[in-house]
């Protein structure tokens, strides 16, 4: 007998759909960046799949501009019942963002270090007001 899980999803694939970085010729050591974060869910193919797009971009263009979009494809764990809309929203806020966030942070740290500037640290999602925007496509 399969035990019922609160969040019966597993991360099947994570990939970047867009990665854009730009830096000015001179970048100060103390680089206070403000980020905008966006989240979209595509759940039209439930229960087979749930797609979450996580976007992160700088609010100002200079001296460093960053835009990343990460897609997480989650699947229903075999043998579990289809979740309701509330479960999907809770999963997004309590688990999915924390599963995807490390991909963003590591990419930003690595690319900014390769640009020859101090690796940029970004805060974990709990510090942002993340709202799911439903899009049926």
Domain count, the chain: 1
Taking only the tens place, the pLDDT of each residue in 74-114 is 988 887 777 777 788 888 888 888 899 999 999 999 998 88
Contact 64, 58 (CB under 8 A): yes
Taking only the tens place, the pLDDT of each residue in 26-76 is 887 777 777 888 888 887 777 678 899 999 888 876 788 889 999 999 988
Residue 57: Cβ within 10 Å count: 16
Q: Does residue 2 lie within any of the structural domains?
A: no
Q: Does residue 80 lie within any of the structural domains?
A: yes
Q: Does residue 1 lie within any of the structural domains?
A: no
Parent domain of 13:
9-132
42: CATH: 3.10.420.10
Of 36, 52, 61, 66, which is closest to residue 128 (Cα–Cα)?
36
pTM (2 d.p.): 0.79
Of 32, 40, 82, which is closest to residue 59 (Cα–Cα)?
32
pLDDT of residue 47: 66
Q: Does residue 4 lie within any of the structural domains?
A: no
Q: Does residue 123 lie within any of the structural domains?
A: yes
Q: Does residue 137 lie within any of the structural domains?
A: no
């Amino acid at each position: 007998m399969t035990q019922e899980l609160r969040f019966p999803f597993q991360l099947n694939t994570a990939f970047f759909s867009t990665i854009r970085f730009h830096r000015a010729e001179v970048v100060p050591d103390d680089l206070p960046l403000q980020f905008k974060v966006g989240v979209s869910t595509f759940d039209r193919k439930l229960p087979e799949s749930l797609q979450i797009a996580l976007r992160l971009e700088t609010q100002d263009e200079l001296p460093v501009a960053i835009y990343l979009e990460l897609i997480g494809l989650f699947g229903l764990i075999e043998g579990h019942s289809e979740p309701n809309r509330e479960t999907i929203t809770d999963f997004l806020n309590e688990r999915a963002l924390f599963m995807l966030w490390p991909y963003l942070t590591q990419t930003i740290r690595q690319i900014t270090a390769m640009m020859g500037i101090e690796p940029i640290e970004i805060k974990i999602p709990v510090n942002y007001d993340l709202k799911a925007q439903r899009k049926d496509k």
